[in-house]
């Protein structure tokens, strides 16, 4: 079996694989890039695995960076591009359900494939496109199945994040969990407690942004993985509502979160904090949460649109569209675009103008400016300096 390596990301990296082979070692494209190429999906970055030990990789190439040398990863710099090259390795220990206690470099590709999470992620490709499939990954790729490499129960015990990866791939690829893998997910869900929130969040958001979100959510709910996620312990009903939404792929992470807090009916600020999400994303979700009910019952006035602001409005509109099929996003966006100012800074008069007009700096002046912003946003006054100053004089 061959994989088509015409994609520029592969083409650029092929000389690196050849160079490693010329030095007497094995080198392969591995992991997600091989899977995605076989599925005809876009390739983001290529991962390379080799039988050469890190010190040997460093001898082959002039310019390298020790990115994660203790785990076997060396970055090779080539024509302004960095390639991560990881030595074949086995992992043992996993006393904490998340990290191997010991990483051992090995010379065998098969052993390296054995440590990987799912069969479809354990495929390797030579520089000529030949696939090396030691665990039935090609067959599972064809059947759209996510099957743990080896014993699913043991694999989830070793690293509980793999359970979140399973439901993420279900949604991202539209694949199904193979039976043993699905059972192991159910049996081991409580182990998710041992995983850092940030890592759970990274997988969860990809689940929500996937093409088959409902399928990912179904497993997330049925396995009860959600019970071990921040703020979701009692979120079964809300998640079931989420699962029932049309499977239209979400474009914005903010929209995915906004839908979740809407369905949970929980304040976005605290929820986003529990999930350790960035402040700017949280602010967007909060603003979307504020305007969403008004959007849904068509009572969002200009002032509400103005206060929401553009990035959050786009998020709220995307969420509204899923909650109310037929919702007219464009009409609201047109109304927003037509606002004569989008921020208070755009008002045609400022504090300096008011002082010239006889105001004293202070509270009253601030209130006057705020009133003018409201009047302009509402369309009661034009955003015109002369007109606004004339209004002030009266
Ligand atoms: P994508 O890049 O689209 O998220 P991916 O499969 O490449 O998907 P990465 O997190 O980039 O995911 O990991 C690269 C590869 O490393 C995977 O394909 C898999 O073989 C292996 N891998 C990653 N995380 C784990 C894990 N927790 N347990 C076992 N193998 C893993
Ligand atoms: Mg990857």
Burial call 7-23: b when 16+ CB within 10 Å, e when fewer: bebbeebbebbebbbee
- Closest-approaching ligand to the CA atom of 159: 1
Rounded to two decimals, the pTM is 0.94
Nearest-CA residue for ligand 1 atom 14 is: 31
**From-to residues of CATH 1.10.246.80 in the chain:** 344-393
Q: What is the CA radius of gyration of the chain?
A: 27
Task: Please tell me the predicted confidence (pLDDT) of residue 97.
Answer: 82
- Proximal ligand: closest to the CA of 119: 1
- Say what the pLDDT of residue 205 is: 98
Q: Ligand 1: does its nearest atom lie under 6 Å from the Cβ of 146?
A: no
Which tokens hold the place of 346? Answer: 């755009």
Cα(50)–Cα(208) distance, rounded to whole angstroms?
A: 34
CA 116, 188, 181 angle in degrees (round to 5)? 50
* Ligand 1 neighbourhood includes 159 CB (under 6 angstroms): yes
Distance 281 CA to ligand 2 centre (A): 24
> Is residue 158 lining ligand 1, measured as CB closer than 6 Å?
no
Atom of ligand 1 nearest to the CA of 32: 7
47 lines ligand 1 (CB under 6 A): yes
Architecture of the 344-393 domain: Orthogonal Bundle (1.10)
**What's residue 52's pLDDT?**
98
Q: Pocket of ligand 1, candidates 28, 30, 32: which has the most ligand atoms within 8 Å of its Cβ, to mutate?
A: 32
Q: What is the pLDDT of residue 100?
A: 80
CATH topology of domain 145-249: Hydrophobic Seed Protein (1.10.110)
Please state, in angstroms and as integers, the Cα–Cα distance from residue 160 to each residue in 129, 209, 230, following that order.
Answer: 32, 21, 16
Ligand 1 proximity of 117 Cβ (cutoff 6 Å): yes
pLDDT at 300: 97
CATH domain 1-143 topology = Beta Polymerase; domain 2 (3.30.460)
**What's the pLDDT at 342?**
97
Closest atom of ligand 1 to 116 CA is: 30
Note the ligand closest to the C-alpha atom of 146.
1
**Where in the chain is CATH 3.30.460.10?**
1-143
User: pLDDT at position 250, please?
Assistant: 98
Residues of the chain with CATH 1.10.110.30: 145-249
pLDDT in tens, the chain (394 residues): 999 999 999 999 999 999 999 999 999 999 999 999 999 999 988 999 999 999 999 999 999 999 999 999 999 999 889 999 999 999 887 778 887 878 899 999 999 999 999 999 999 999 999 999 999 999 999 999 999 999 999 999 999 999 999 999 999 999 999 999 999 999 999 999 999 999 999 999 999 999 999 999 999 999 999 999 999 999 999 999 999 999 899 999 999 999 999 999 999 999 999 999 999 999 999 999 999 999 999 999 999 999 999 999 999 999 999 999 899 999 999 999 999 999 999 999 998 998 988 888 889 899 999 999 999 999 999 999 999 999 888 7
> Which residue do the tokens 């792929």 mark?
249
Q: How are beta strands 176-177 and 145-146 bridged, if at all?
A: parallel
């Amino acid at each position: 079996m061959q994989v088509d390596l015409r994609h520029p990301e592969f083409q650029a990296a092929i000389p690196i694989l050849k160079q490693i082979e010329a030095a007497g070692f094995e080198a392969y494209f591995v992991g997600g890039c091989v899977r995605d190429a076989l599925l005809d999906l876009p390739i983001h970055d290529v991962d390379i695995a080799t039988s050469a030990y890190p010190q040997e990789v460093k001898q082959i190439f002039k310019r390298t960076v020790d990115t994660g040398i203790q785990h076997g990863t060396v970055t090779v710099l080539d024509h302004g591009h960095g390639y991560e090259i990881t030595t074949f390795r086995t992992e043992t220990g996993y006393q904490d359900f998340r990290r191997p206690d010991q990483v051992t470099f090995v010379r065998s590709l098969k052993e390296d494939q054995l440590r990987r999470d799912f069969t479809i992620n354990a495929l390797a490709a030579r520089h000529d496109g030949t696939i090396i499939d030691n665990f039935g990954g090609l067959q599972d790729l064809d059947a759209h199945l996510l099957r743990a490499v080896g014993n699913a129960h043991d694999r989830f015990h070793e690293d509980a994040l793999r359970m979140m990866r399973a439901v993420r791939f279900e949604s991202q690829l539209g694949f199904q969990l193979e039976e043993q893998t699905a059972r192991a997910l159910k049996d081991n869900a409580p182990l998710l407690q041992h995983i850092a929130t940030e890592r759970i969040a990274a997988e969860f958001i990809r689940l929500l942004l996937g093409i088959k979100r409902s399928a990912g959510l179904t497993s997330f709910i049925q396995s009860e993985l959600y019970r071990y996620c921040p703020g979701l312990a009692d979120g079964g009903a809300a998640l079931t509502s989420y699962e029932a939404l049309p499977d239209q792929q979400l474009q914005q992470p903010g929209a995915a979160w906004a839908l979740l807090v809407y369905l949970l009916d929980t304040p976005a600020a605290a929820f986003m904090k529990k999930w350790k999400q960035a402040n700017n994303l949280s602010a967007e979700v909060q603003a979307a949460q504020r305007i969403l009910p008004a959007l849904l019952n068509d009572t969002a006035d200009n002032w509400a649109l103005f206060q929401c602001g553009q990035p959050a409005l786009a998020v709220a509109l995307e969420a509204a569209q899923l909650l109310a099929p037929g919702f007219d996003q464009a009409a609201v966006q047109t109304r927003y675009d037509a606002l004569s100012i989008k921020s208070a800074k755009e008002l045609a008069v400022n504090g300096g103008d008011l002082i010239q007009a006889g105001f004293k700096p202070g509270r009253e002046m601030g209130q006057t400016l705020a009133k003018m912003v409201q009047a302009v946003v509402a369309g009661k006054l034009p955003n015109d300096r002369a007109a606004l100053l004339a209004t002030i004089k009266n």
